Amino acid sequence: MQTILQKFPHFPTALLAEQKVQEKQGYSILFSSQLNLEKLMAFQQKCGENFQLFDCWEMANNVVLLMQGEFSPEFIAYAHELQLDAAVLNFHAKLSQSGLLVMDMDSTAIKIECIDEIAKLAGTGEEVSAITAAAMRGELDFEQSLRRRVGTLKGAKESILADVRRNLPLMGGLKETISELKKYGWKIAIASGGFTYFADYLKDMLGLDYAVSNQFDIVDGILTGKVKGDIVHAQYKAKVLQQLAEQFNIDPKNTVAIGDGANDLAMMSVANLGAAFHAKPKVQQQAQVVVNFADLTGLLCLLSASDRINNLTK
């Protein structure tokens, strides 16, 4: 950040002082732990746009730069070529206003797909991984694919669930993001197509407000290969977000959903801010905001940017 502030000690300022800046365009941000003056100027050269710079700050391990100017869709790809994240600030949600975050679990709140790890221990790993990958790409109906995956676990011992949970790897930035959101009174939930054995554990360990997920059918310590109760599919997740916002009296304008798979698109679409996190290509194509390089603290970059804009317009 220091190289940027040395070059631009005062805001607002034009990125290229000798060129005219377009008036009254929307706000956008660049953010990354690697963002510096060299990468900023490389981004400008790729875009050919003279952005007006309004602010630069640190959020967790990230440097965030608030800009104004015409931001074409291909600019996101240019940022990604430089291993920077970028977002158009076309949402209301603010960090400083108590809100609701609903997260996917597998490959979002944690680094693994639990059912893939369970299947490895049950001896059906390759089969289940192939089904999981196809489902996450949106090539298979989620409910059918889930039942097929769980079906391969028939006869496995319940103890393998504990083996997976014992080594559950949290996603980078998860604890920091939860801690920061709680400072501002946010409610935080998991809505997962995974399983209660893991989602409920995370809820208790992290002090979350709610968790919903699927439940293995287990008889006498043995998995039956079936799922108990309703399946937590895409529309179920979206409904949970809306119900929780009403239950916790959260303004819909301050609701956020984050996930990585096709099963998350519905809840991302009903939230004020829907963020695709290190997501599958189909999800990135449909998402409002894409985070490809930052860890989960990238969410704090997005929400803090809304606060910065609000301060500018007061």
220 or 48, which is more confident? 220
Q: Which two tokens stand for residue 165?
A: 């949970």
Q: What pLDDT digit, counting tens, does each position of 136-173 carry?
A: 777 888 898 999 999 999 999 999 999 999 989 999 99
DSSP for residue 61 = T
Based on the structure, what is the number of domains in the chain?
2
- 199 with 271, same domain: the answer is yes
| Domain termination residue (choose one: 43, 71, 90) | 90
DSSP for residue 110 = B
pLDDT of res. 314: 63
pLDDT of res. 25: 78
Domain that holds residue 232: 100-295
Give the span between the Cα atoms of 105 and 260, in whole angstroms: 9
- 133 with 66, same domain: the answer is no
Could you give the C-alpha distances from 269 to 238, 244, 255, 276, in angstroms and in order? 8, 15, 11, 11
pLDDT above 70 for 268: yes
How many Cα neighbours within 13 Å face the side chain of 235?
Answer: 3
Give the span between the Cα atoms of 19 and 300, in whole angstroms: 32
Question: Helices marked H in 155-264 — which ranges?
Answer: 159-166, 174-183, 196-206, 234-247
Q: What is the pTM of this model?
A: 0.95
Q: Sheet harboring 27-32: ordered strands across?
A: 13-14, 52-59, 62-68, 27-32, 85-88
Q: What pLDDT digit, counting tens, does each position of 54-74 carry?
A: 999 999 999 999 999 889 899
CATH of the domain at 57: 3.30.70.2020
Known catalytic residues are: 104, 106
CATH of the domain at 159: 3.40.50.1000
Specify if 314 maps to a domain.
no
Specify if 95 maps to a domain.
no
Specify if 310 maps to a domain.
no
pLDDT of res. 128: 92
Specify if 302 maps to a domain.
no
Could you give the C-alpha distances from 171 to 33, 174, 177, 192, 194, in angstroms and in order? 16, 6, 11, 15, 16
H-run or E-run covering 85 = strand 85-88
Mean pLDDT of the chain: 94
Band the pLDDT of 32: cuts 50, 70, 90: very high
